[in-house]
């Protein structure tokens, strides 16, 4: 919604890897990003959902913002306590 607001096109990469030890989901874009030293935007509904999913799966959620876009990673070691 916001990543490509000043352009007609952009790239979003989705990567999923699964192994006996767990899984990793990565989502990355080349959107407008956030300039270094700038406060990150408020956490939106999408970020809240990703955090909740990672917690429910017994995993971790990481968000990396840069001036070159955004990258989100969800990882699980396969040992969920649910």
At 54, which helix (H) or strand (E)? helix 45-56
Q: What is the pTM of this model?
A: 0.74
- pLDDT tens, position by position, 10-66: 899 999 999 998 999 999 999 887 766 666 666 678 888 888 999 998 899 998 888
Dihedral pair phi/psi, residue 49, rounded to 5°: -65, -40
Band of the pLDDT at 74, cuts 50, 70, 90?
very high
**Which is it for strands 60-66 and 22-29: parallel, antiparallel or unpaired?**
unpaired
Helix, strand, coil percentages, rounded to 5, for the chain: 15, 40, 50
């Amino acid at each position: 919604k916001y990543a490509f607001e000043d352009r007609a096109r952009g790239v979003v990469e989705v990567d999923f890897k699964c192994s006996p030890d767990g899984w990793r989901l990565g989502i990355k874009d080349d959107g407008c990003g956030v300039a270094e030293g700038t406060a990150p935007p408020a956490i939106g509904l999408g970020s809240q959902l990703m955090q909740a999913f990672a917690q429910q799966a017994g995993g971790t959620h990481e968000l990396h913002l840069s001036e070159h876009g955004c990258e989100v990673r969800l990882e699980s070691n396969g040992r969920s306590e649910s």
